[in-house]
Amino acid sequence: MECKDSSIISHSSNKFPSDLKYQSGFGNHFSSEAIVGALPQGQNSPLVCPFGLYAEQISGTSFTSPRKLNQRSWLYRIKPSVTHEPFRPRLPRHEKLVSEFDQSNSSTTPTQLRWKPVEIPETPTDFVDGLYTICGAGSSYLRHGFAIHMYTANKSMENCAFCNADGDFLIVPQKGRLWITTECGKLQVCPGEIVILPQGFRFAVDLPDGASRGYVAEIFGAHFQLPDLGPIGANGLAAPRHFLVPVAWYEDGSRPGYTIVQKYGGELFTAKQDFSPFNVVAWHGNYVPYKYDLSKFCPYNTVLIDHSDPSINTVLTAPTDKPGVALLDFVIFPPRWLVAEHTFRPPYYHRNCMSEFMGLIYGGYEAKADGFHPGGASLHSCMTPHGPDTKTYEATIALGNEAGPHKIADTMAFMFESCLIPRVCPWALESPFMDHDYYQCWIGLKSHFSGLSMKENINFQNGKPVER
């Protein structure tokens, strides 16, 4: 989906250019400077940096992580980020953010769950206040686990920035553009795109279209990677060159009362400072925010028989130490051709050792004829059966083998899939947007069994009954 004009006033009364510049590549070592010569040459931390800037490193991995996994960037800023008052608990407390899941704040259920799209609030609500947790597993304190959030907002963040100390955010906007200012530069993210904001980076979200809604996956103790392609070969799925990274941009000057909102252990804290955190004149490194346009995904699919497993549509993965098992996969179901012969083409009925949270950005989803709308969500937990609804099944069978090639168009669904079993927050279970009739979509499935009766299925050999 194309973004609209970007000429509206944004964060800190600075315009978001309609032709934002980006660097491209996934996992590259980037460098960018808003003023020529601002990057030190030959070393990271000289005694005096160019233009009197401060050198500051942000590390996304431990210092001694293997080189191929090590992530860090050097930022050259007008004032260091340490220059702020002490953090204090943010009041009133945000009661609907969770980063440690246990019996005190969440519960488990094997029942299939589905939510209708949540309405945009009428009261002024920015991205931070509009963020709430649906489910998750593990603990940010123990550096292993995930949380799935959603957000609804209608106003831009004012004189404040957000910092998530718990983990990486993968944001999937469904309604309304996001203008995101980060310490590395600016990103415009439209519905149909995603953005990854790594742990520890400060950012502000402006809403040029007003009402905004979307989904957020958060991972603790890991970072997203591109999945290996295996027998697919060297090309396909998400291409590294289509991931876009901002270029350096900075603001200077006094900003009395500027607030840093830090998420730490699922709780929010605030600290005051007198300058903008977006005062980075130059930076280099491989730990950086980035975005990706889902329409550039190159899907692979069955070309003869049977339906491919959804893993074939993985955009990004956060692996565990166990080969092939993900802490969290981000999988999409984009427009594509279905051409398999003598095959039930929607996703098959299945039970999965992984747990699946699904969302819909626009259009419809091929396995649900009714009830699953853009902005809605569903959760199918570990080993809970799920699959096409009755209407989809009956319509597919009615077409028979004469269906011919069919293109799924004008749709973008996605899935967050994890090896961990999610616990669901009480406000999600008690939500007025909970679809309590979700189970009804399968109740109409009837038996099509056409086997012979036991009497007809008996044959006699040598005068004795033998089952065929």
d(CA 70, CA 67): 5
Residue 298, beta-bridge partner list: 237
User: First CA to last CA across the chain, in angstroms?
Assistant: 57
d(CA 263, CA 309): 36
Q: What are the distances in angstroms from CA 287 to CA 41, 101, 151, 185?
A: 19, 28, 25, 13
Q: How many helices (H) and strands (E) does the chain have?
A: 3, 30
* 93: nearest Cα among 312, 320, 263: 263
3-state secondary structure of 75: strand
Instruction: List, by residue number, the catalytic residues.
Output: 307
Torsion of CA 138, 139, 143, 149, to 10 degrees: 80
d(CA 383, CA 351): 5
d(CA 339, CA 305): 8
359 and 149 in contact (C-beta within 8 Å)? no
* 136: nearest Cα among 47, 72, 216: 216
d(CA 425, CA 311): 27
Helix, strand, coil share of the chain (percent; to 5) = 10, 35, 55
* 217: nearest Cα among 136, 286, 293, 140: 136
3-state secondary structure of 138: strand
